[in-house]
Structure 1
Amino acid sequence: METKNLKTYLLIGILVIATVLRLWRIDQVPVSLFGDELDVGYHAYSILKTGKDYSGNSWPLHFQSLAEWRTPLYLYSAVPTVALFGISPLGVRLPAAIFGILGVSLFYLLIKLITGNWKLATLAGLLLAISPWHLQYSRAGFEATQMLTFYLAGLLFFLKGLKEGKLLPFAALFLGLTPWVYSTAKFFLPLTVLGLLVIWRKELFKVGKKHLLWTLAVFILVVAPITWSTLFGGGTARFGYISVFTDPTTIPEIGFSRLRDSKMDDPEIKFGAQPDLESRMVHNKFQWWGGVMLKNYLQTFSSQFLFINGDLNARHAVQGAGEFYKFEGLFILLGLVFLLIRPLDRKIKIFLLLWLVLAPIPAAMTRDGGSHATRLFFLLPVLVFLTAYGIYGLIDVLKNQRKLLSLGIIGLYLVSFLWYQHQYWVHYPWDSERWWHAGFESAIKTAVAQAGDYDKVIFSMAGEPTFIFFLGWSQYPPQEVQDGLFSEKENVANFGEITKVGKYYFGTPNSPSVYELAKSLPDKTLYVATAKEVGINLITEPDRKPGDLKLLKAVAFPSGEPAYYLFTKN
């Protein structure tokens, strides 16, 4: 077989694998749309119907959600798929899957360009296609895969543009779009651009002025609006909430450390005593912030995060699987060694090392950022490259054992991949069911369908805040939300003053148990209760329901455990 045909067939095979792994049963696993995904879907639905986000802002640069301001590009990308499939797993998740597949092909092209080695590029593309980290984010309505795909496209056009100046404006376009997708890029993009300008400054001076001016113009036109919106339009609100600089525990921790110093000098000293100069120099905000950021940064490269447990948020990773296959750590280390000692363009080496070193910095500035797989997503490609480089270099060094070594590595990947797939398809739906807010869809759709028979439908807020689940799963008219839908209140017995939307009510009962609530629930009322308000599994023991109430429906998690109950008066 000709080499050209072999390259094509292998690339097609990798893209087929990437496509199947990202699209197969995407509407079923993960088991439900969680709150942020429904927020994406309902914003896209609102844009589709009204040209405004559901808070009433026309074609916004940051979407105003119930709890935060969101970067816009993924939400706009979901408008066509929500138009086709509604607010559903396919409607919300399909853009992430498509960008995940495109990301694999762009990664292949980028590695082929920087190494000149199509075999290494093929291996790197395959590893990204089966990467647990990349798969997890390609199968849910996360912005990360779109951000990374634009970033890879920007790097590809930049490196090509050094020889063909007319391509540089495309690099500016794609790199400039990354902050429109996810906020991590707002910090990482300046670092990237600075690195590119410094490393390839001589090559850039050789590019025609016309192309450079076009590149600068495109970059400014793309970046300026999102920068303005970030600084003056609410875009910094989210960072203010998650930043280490706004952590409310900082002052108490510093105060405790200073008091401890004082007591070590004088055990009789009283609380509130002024610390001495030495204590203030050692224990202060800058020292505390620096310590937290350094801890986060080092945690990013820990075996616990990369290979053993991964992100402990079950929406971000299969628990116990790690972000990489456990044995890949060896190849990452080998890849780093080979990167330093084997022939490769010096400027490419410097850039890859800078990428590796700088990628964790944005996440390190946030609380729990050291193991937050979403905020660390820029780190994924360079680690996958090092894995592939380590494997390829090892096989090249041990040429006499090439076949046996190749079979061994293939065997390791096959076993690890099959184990991961078993965990994902068999265990993960049960293990993550609460993280993905399973049960809400059935409970809300049933309540809305039955609402015509009742004067009031009350959704319990004893668990997750129900507003976005109600709006998304009911596809409530966005125009009514924009007109101040959640501003109306009403006093309801045993609930107090709660939010009202027509005949739909949202509140937390004063009684912790539905057995106590039953006595005061108004007539002709449908009550959607969380399972914890009942405390008994009424699916297996339906006779133990509250005597004054009729159990209309019990909604179960995939595991069969109760999630929600729909009650009405007898």
Structure 2
Amino acid sequence: METKNLKTYLLIGILVIATVLRLWKIDQVPVSLFGDELDVGYHAYSILKTGKDYSGNSWPLHFQSLAEWRTPLYLYSAVPTVAMFGISPLGVRLPAAIFGILGVFLFYLLIKLITGNWKLATLAGLLLAISPWHLQYSRAGFEVTQMLTFYLAGLLFFLKGLKEGRLLPYSALFLGLTPWVYSTAKFFLPLTVLGLLIVWHKELFKVGKKYLLWTLAVFILVVAPITWSTLFGGGTARFGYISVFTDPTTIPEIGFSRLRDSKMDDPEIKFGAQPDLESRVVHNKFQWWGGVMLKNYLQTFSSQFLFINGDLNARHAVQGAGEFYKFEGLFILLGLVFLLIRPLDRKIKIFLLLWLVLAPIPAAMTRDGGSHATRLFFLLPVLVFLTAYGIYGLVDVLKNQRKLLSLGIIGLYLVSFLWYQHQYWVHYPWDSERWWHAGFESAIKTAVSQAGDYDKVIFSMAGEPTFIFFLGWSQYPPQEVQDGLFSEKENIANFGEITKVGKYYFGTPNAPSVYELARSLPDKTLYVATAKEVGINLITEPDRKPGDLKLLKAVAFPSGEPAYYLFTKN
């Protein structure tokens, strides 16, 4: 077979694998849309119907959600798919899957460009296609696959633009769009631009002045609006909430450390005493912030995060699987060694090392950022490249054992991949059912379908806040909530003052147990209760239902455990 045809067939094969792994049963696993995904879907639905987000802002640069302001581009990208498939797993997740597939293709092109080695690029593309980290985010409504795809496109056009100046403005466009997708890019983009300028400033000055001016103009035009909205709109609210600099535990921790210092000299000293100069120098906000950031940074490269447990949030990773296959750590280390000692363009080496070192910094500035796979997503491609480079270099060095070594590596990947797929498809739906807010869809759609028979439908607030689940799963008309989003209140006996939208109410009764619930419910009321507040498994023990309550429906998690109950008075 001709080499050209082989390259094409292998690339097509990789893209087919990437496509199948990202699209197969995407509407079923993960088991449901979690709150942030429904937020994406309902914002897209609101834009589709009204040209405003559900808070009433016209074509916003940051979408105003119930709890935060969100970067806009993924939400706008979901408008066409929500128009086709509604607020559904397919409607919300399809853009992430598509950008995940495109990311695999662009990663292949980038590695081929920087190494000049199509075999290495093919291997790297395959490893990204089957990467647990990349797969997890390609199958849910997360923004980061789109962000990473734009980033890879920006780097690709930049490196090509050094020789063909007309391509540089496209680099500015795609890199400039990354902060529009996810907030991590607001911190990582300046670091990237600085790195590109440091490494390739001589080559840039050789590019025609016309192209440089166009590139600068495009970059400013793309970045300026989102920068303005971030600094003077609501874009900083989320960072203010998760930043290490606003952690409310900082001052108490510093105070305790200073008090401990003082007690070493005077055991009788009381809390609130003035610390001495040495204690203030050693224990202060800057020292504390620096320590937390360093801990986060180092935790990012720990085996616990990368290879053993991964992100402990079950929406971000299959628990116990790690972000990489467990044996890949060896190849990452080998790849780093080969990157330092084997022939490769010096500037490419420097940039890859800068990428590796700088990628964790944005996440390190956030609480629990050292193991937050979403905020660390920029780190993924360079680690995948090092894995591929380590494998390729090892096989090249041990040429005499090439066949045996290749078979061994293929065997390792095959066993690990099949184990991961088993965990993902068989165990993960049950293990993560609560993280993905399973049960809400059935409970809400059932309640809405039967609402005509009741004066009031009350959703319990004993678990997750129900607002966005109600709006999304009911596809409630956004026009009716935009002007006064959940601002209407009503005082209901045994509930107190609770929020309402039309005949739908959101609150929890003052009932000590399910046996007191009927006395708390108004007449002609449908109440959607969480299984936790009921405290009885009425699926396996239906006889324990109070006689004065009528159980309309019991909604179960995929595991069969109860999730929600729909009650009314008998």
- For the criterion TM > 0.5, the same-fold answer is yes
Supply the distance in 2 between the matched residues of 1:73 and 1:500 (Cα, whole angstroms): 31
Supply the distance in 2 between the matched residues of 1:72 and 1:432 (Cα, whole angstroms): 27
* Secondary structure, aligned partner of 2:519: coil
Deviation (angstroms), 1:522: 1.0
Which residue of 2 is the match for residue 507 of structure 1?
Answer: 507
Which residue of 2 is the match for residue 219 of structure 1?
Answer: 219
Greater mean deviation of Cα atoms: 501-510 or 376-385: 501-510
Do the aligned partners of 1:462 and 1:509 also contact (CA within 8 Å) in 2? no
Do the aligned partners of 1:495 and 1:509 also contact (CA within 8 Å) in 2? yes
Once the two structures are superposed, residues 254-282 of structure 1 have per-residue CA deviations (whole angstroms, 9 ceiling, x without a partner) of: 00000000011111111211110000000
Once the two structures are superposed, residues 483-508 of structure 1 have per-residue CA deviations (whole angstroms, 9 ceiling, x without a partner) of: 21411111112110001111110012
Supply the distance in 1 between the matched residues of 2:445 and 2:438 (Cα, whole angstroms): 13
Once the two structures are superposed, residues 399-426 of structure 1 have per-residue CA deviations (whole angstroms, 9 ceiling, x without a partner) of: 0000000000000000000000000000
Do the aligned partners of 1:61 and 1:72 also contact (CA within 8 Å) in 2? yes
* Secondary structure, aligned partner of 1:458: strand
Supply the distance in 1 between the matched residues of 2:344 and 2:306 (Cα, whole angstroms): 26
* Secondary structure, aligned partner of 2:150: helix
Q: Does 1:161 align with 2:161?
A: yes
Evaluate the alpha carbon distance shift between residue 489 and residue 121 of structure 1 in structure 2; reply closer, same or farther with a 3 A threshold: same
Do the aligned partners of 1:359 and 1:378 also contact (CA within 8 Å) in 2? yes
Once the two structures are superposed, residues 191-242 of structure 1 have per-residue CA deviations (whole angstroms, 9 ceiling, x without a partner) of: 0001101110110010000000000000000000000000001100000000
Supply the distance in 2 between the matched residues of 1:485 and 1:108 (Cα, whole angstroms): 46
Supply the distance in 1 between the matched residues of 2:502 and 2:79 (Cα, whole angstroms): 27
Do the aligned partners of 2:511 and 2:520 also contact (CA within 8 Å) in 1? no
* Secondary structure, aligned partner of 1:218: helix
Supply the distance in 1 between the matched residues of 2:568 and 2:432 (Cα, whole angstroms): 30
Do the aligned partners of 2:443 and 2:555 also contact (CA within 8 Å) in 1? yes
Do the aligned partners of 1:96 and 1:137 also contact (CA within 8 Å) in 2? yes
Supply the distance in 2 between the matched residues of 1:13 and 1:176 (Cα, whole angstroms): 31
Once the two structures are superposed, residues 98-146 of structure 1 have per-residue CA deviations (whole angstroms, 9 ceiling, x without a partner) of: 0000000000000000000000000000000000000000000000000
Supply the distance in 2 between the matched residues of 1:479 and 1:39 (Cα, whole angstroms): 16
Supply the distance in 2 between the matched residues of 1:25 and 1:512 (Cα, whole angstroms): 42
* Secondary structure, aligned partner of 1:366: coil
Q: When the two structures are superposed, what TM-score results if normalisation uses the length of structure 2?
A: 1.00
* Secondary structure, aligned partner of 1:518: helix
Do the aligned partners of 1:529 and 1:564 also contact (CA within 8 Å) in 2? yes
Greater mean deviation of Cα atoms: 507-516 or 50-59: 507-516
Supply the distance in 2 between the matched residues of 1:442 and 1:428 (Cα, whole angstroms): 20
Do the aligned partners of 1:494 and 1:517 also contact (CA within 8 Å) in 2? no
Matched residue count: 570
* Secondary structure, aligned partner of 1:304: helix
Do the aligned partners of 2:510 and 2:520 also contact (CA within 8 Å) in 1? no
Supply the distance in 2 between the matched residues of 1:457 and 1:251 (Cα, whole angstroms): 45
Supply the distance in 2 between the matched residues of 1:521 and 1:476 (Cα, whole angstroms): 24
Do the aligned partners of 2:52 and 2:60 also contact (CA within 8 Å) in 1? yes
* Secondary structure, aligned partner of 2:559: coil
Do the aligned partners of 1:259 and 1:275 also contact (CA within 8 Å) in 2? yes
* Secondary structure, aligned partner of 1:555: strand
Deviation (angstroms), 1:513: 2.4
Do the aligned partners of 1:512 and 1:533 also contact (CA within 8 Å) in 2? no
Supply the distance in 2 between the matched residues of 1:534 and 1:277 (Cα, whole angstroms): 56
Greater mean deviation of Cα atoms: 478-487 or 42-51: 478-487
Supply the distance in 2 between the matched residues of 1:311 and 1:296 (Cα, whole angstroms): 13
Greater mean deviation of Cα atoms: 487-496 or 199-208: 487-496
* Secondary structure, aligned partner of 1:248: coil
Deviation (angstroms), 1:511: 2.3
Supply the distance in 2 between the matched residues of 1:263 and 1:520 (Cα, whole angstroms): 54
Supply the distance in 1 between the matched residues of 2:352 and 2:167 (Cα, whole angstroms): 21
Once the two structures are superposed, residues 143-190 of structure 1 have per-residue CA deviations (whole angstroms, 9 ceiling, x without a partner) of: 000000000000000000000000000000000000000000000000
Supply the distance in 1 between the matched residues of 2:543 and 2:550 (Cα, whole angstroms): 10
Do the aligned partners of 1:486 and 1:501 also contact (CA within 8 Å) in 2? yes
Do the aligned partners of 2:518 and 2:549 also contact (CA within 8 Å) in 1? yes
Which residue of 1 is the match for residue 148 of structure 2?
Answer: 148
Supply the distance in 1 between the matched residues of 2:394 and 2:551 (Cα, whole angstroms): 64
Which residue of 2 is the match for residue 544 of structure 1?
Answer: 544
Q: Does 1:400 align with 2:400?
A: yes
* Secondary structure, aligned partner of 2:140: coil
Supply the distance in 2 between the matched residues of 1:381 and 1:546 (Cα, whole angstroms): 56
* Secondary structure, aligned partner of 2:563: strand
Supply the distance in 1 between the matched residues of 2:261 and 2:547 (Cα, whole angstroms): 61
Supply the distance in 1 between the matched residues of 2:343 and 2:29 (Cα, whole angstroms): 44
Supply the distance in 1 between the matched residues of 2:271 and 2:204 (Cα, whole angstroms): 61
Do the aligned partners of 2:68 and 2:238 also contact (CA within 8 Å) in 1? yes
Once the two structures are superposed, residues 321-357 of structure 1 have per-residue CA deviations (whole angstroms, 9 ceiling, x without a partner) of: 0000000000000000000000000000000000000
Deviation (angstroms), 1:515: 2.0
Supply the distance in 2 between the matched residues of 1:518 and 1:320 (Cα, whole angstroms): 43
Supply the distance in 2 between the matched residues of 1:157 and 1:404 (Cα, whole angstroms): 39
Supply the distance in 2 between the matched residues of 1:508 and 1:333 (Cα, whole angstroms): 54
Deviation (angstroms), 1:514: 2.5
Deviation (angstroms), 1:440: 0.1
Percent identity, aligned pairs only, is 97
Greater mean deviation of Cα atoms: 478-487 or 151-160: 478-487
* Secondary structure, aligned partner of 1:163: coil
Supply the distance in 2 between the matched residues of 1:57 and 1:337 (Cα, whole angstroms): 52
* Secondary structure, aligned partner of 1:44: helix
Supply the distance in 2 between the matched residues of 1:520 and 1:273 (Cα, whole angstroms): 52
Q: Which runs of 5+ in 2 are unaligned?
A: none
Supply the distance in 2 between the matched residues of 1:177 and 1:408 (Cα, whole angstroms): 42
Do the aligned partners of 1:161 and 1:167 also contact (CA within 8 Å) in 2? yes
Supply the distance in 2 between the matched residues of 1:246 and 1:517 (Cα, whole angstroms): 41
RMSD over equivalenced CA pairs, Å = 0.5
Q: When the two structures are superposed, what TM-score results if normalisation uses the length of structure 1?
A: 1.00
Deviation (angstroms), 1:565: 0.1
Supply the distance in 1 between the matched residues of 2:252 and 2:520 (Cα, whole angstroms): 44
Supply the distance in 2 between the matched residues of 1:513 and 1:407 (Cα, whole angstroms): 61
Supply the distance in 2 between the matched residues of 1:499 and 1:125 (Cα, whole angstroms): 50
Supply the distance in 1 between the matched residues of 2:389 and 2:104 (Cα, whole angstroms): 16
Supply the distance in 1 between the matched residues of 2:84 and 2:231 (Cα, whole angstroms): 35
Deviation (angstroms), 1:512: 4.2
* Secondary structure, aligned partner of 2:486: helix
Deviation (angstroms), 1:529: 0.1
Do the aligned partners of 2:460 and 2:466 also contact (CA within 8 Å) in 1? yes
* Secondary structure, aligned partner of 1:180: helix
* Secondary structure, aligned partner of 2:235: coil
Evaluate the alpha carbon distance shift between residue 512 and residue 60 of structure 1 in structure 2; reply closer, same or farther with a 3 A threshold: farther
Once the two structures are superposed, residues 434-489 of structure 1 have per-residue CA deviations (whole angstroms, 9 ceiling, x without a partner) of: 00000000000000000000011000000000000000000000001102141111
* Secondary structure, aligned partner of 1:53: coil
Supply the distance in 1 between the matched residues of 2:155 and 2:142 (Cα, whole angstroms): 22
Supply the distance in 1 between the matched residues of 2:320 and 2:251 (Cα, whole angstroms): 35
